[in-house]
Structure 1
Amino acid sequence: MLFKTSSFYNQDIRVFGGFWGPKLFVNGSWQSGPYIRKLWNHAFRKFKIDTFKNIRTILILGVGGGTVIELLARRHPNATITAVDIDETIIDIARRYFHADTITNLRVVCGDAKVFVRSGNRYDLVIVDLFIGPKIPEFVSLPSFQKDLYRITKSDGYCCINYLREIMPE
């Protein structure tokens, strides 16, 4: 283990080293690492995200270990990426252990996603990757939040919500 801490939002945050690089484990759930990278690469292939033309602005709700940020920065190097996370500790870990600060077209905002989506900005691509450990915050499935997502996604843009759920032992 490289690092262990907690925050107001997450009681158990750990960073592990590994052959393929660091992995982030939060409240009993992997937030980055080879498995998460494989899942996102598979999703991006299925949605044919590499064929999306004119992606100039990307919003990512949820930073975690920055896997989605890194993958999209490589796929769309000319796009401006804004990533939002409510947990400053997670943002610091993404910078320190996952080198999010080396992505030059990235702006990271510490804030509440459900408030941020009410801003006037619109995006070509919106990715919702919000988790508190293995749980998706309840507001993600609310019609009001989804209407806000629709409003901030440009008319010819795309929105992807990660609803991956882990089966937790009882």
Structure 2
Amino acid sequence: MALIWEKKIKGVTYQVITAGSSVRLYTNKVFHSQWNPNAVLCGGVWDLLLLPAFMLAKPTQIKNVLVLGVGGGAVIRALSHCLGPNNITGVDLDATHLSIAKRFFGVKTIAIDQSRIKQAHNKAPKVKSLHASTVSAQHNNAGPIECRLVHAEAKAWLENNQTKYDLIIEDIFKEDDKGQPIRAVEASVEWLALLRKSLTKKGLLVMNFEGQASWQKAKQTAKKQGFFNSDDSAKYINCAKLALPQYENRMGVFSLCPLDKRLLPTHAKMYANVTQAKWDKMGYSITPYKI
């Protein structure tokens, strides 16, 4: 590993470290995020931010993305690399994180190889499920992705925003008195309602929780309020929990269209070049729910 950049700003130490083909961000010595174009899924907790999109019948239906809590921008790079949405907006309160994302993680207007994604569709094997048509779907994006980074407090920014998104990734954390990461915004009725309001009619919401208790409380709130109910939502999975054994984090997923965990290995291979053998070794835990 090689330390390529380090700076202390207002008592916070930022480090950017390379390890092989990967670039890593450490904030106060906490491993914050990692990007490796040769291993988009690498067994890190940030994998869990991307995987919910692979539970959709057509992941490339995601055209407009909002990321609340950019960090190093690993999930922006992953989404750009795998799915090529038309627009990605990243919001972060830490201006240094945004600078690092642009300078070291390559988060900017990102040109991608659209032919690579089309070839993935064409070469992928058929899947025998109610979503089998996914495999033959064509990727319709053209040209570079428009990526906009915004220095702002996420809640205040979202309250004034009128755009709706196909995918919202909410990954907003701060440090407690002991320097441990905790959620910066409580998953209250008001916050969940605001996030839900900002989704399109078939939108997907992914939220990072520091542990099981925090996730369970948010799931019960969403269920009680009926935020993700529709006329036919009782017929399909519209919620999921993702986890990895080495992390306390729980990734909560709320959807306004069907989720299917059976699609994950196929779509991981199609979009992230993960073989079935590698997938089996990853150790992802995915628990589906109807709420």
Both proteins in one fold, TM over 0.5: yes
The residue number in structure 2 matching 1:73 is 80
Q: Is the 8 A contact 2:91 2:154 kept in 1?
A: yes
In the alignment, what sits opposite 2:163?
121
Q: How does 1:16-165 map to 2 (within 5 A)?
A: 16-33=17-34, 37-38=42-43, 39-41=45-47, 44-45=50-51, 48-49=54-55, 51-103=58-110, 104-118=145-159, 119-132=161-174, 134-164=180-210
Give the gaps of 5 or more residues in structure 2: 111-144, 212-246, 249-291
* Higher alpha-carbon Rg: 2
Return closer, same or farther for 1:77/1:112 CA change in 2, 3 Å cut-off.
same
Alpha-carbon contact 1:127-1:159 (below 8 Å) kept: yes
If the length of structure 1 is used for normalisation, what is the TM-score? 0.83
- Matched-pair contact (CA < 8 Å) for 2:174–2:184: no
- The one-character-per-residue Cα deviations of 1:86-126 (angstroms, maximum 9, x if unpaired) are 11111111111111125242111111111122111110100
- Residues 1:53 and 1:41: Cα distance change in structure 2 (over 3 Å): same
Task: Give a deviation string over 1:118-158, Cα, whole Å, max 9, x none.
Answer: 11111010001222365133424232222111110112100
Q: Is the 8 A contact 2:173 2:184 kept in 1?
A: no
Q: Match of 1:144, as an amino acid? A: E
Q: TM-score, normalised by structure 2?
A: 0.51
Deviates more, 1:50-59 or 1:62-71: 50-59
Query: Structure 1 residues 42, 144: closer, same or farther in 2, change over 3 A?
Result: closer
Deviation at 1:45, TM superposition (A): 3.7
2:284 alignment counterpart: none
Against the structure 1 CA distance between its residues 162 and 151, is the aligned structure 2 distance closer, same or farther, given a 3 Å change threshold? same
Call closer, same or farther: CA 1:153–1:22 in 2, change over 3 Å. same
Distance (Å, rounded) in 1 between the aligned partners of 2:165 and 2:19: 35
Q: Please tell me whether residue 6 in structure 1 is matched to residue 48 in structure 2.
A: no
Q: CA deviation at 1:7?
A: 3.5
How many pairs align? 166
State the distance in 2 between where 1:149 and 1:6 align: 33
Please provide the CA RMSD for this pair. 2.6
CA–CA distance in structure 1, aligned partners of residues 53 and 149 of structure 2: 25
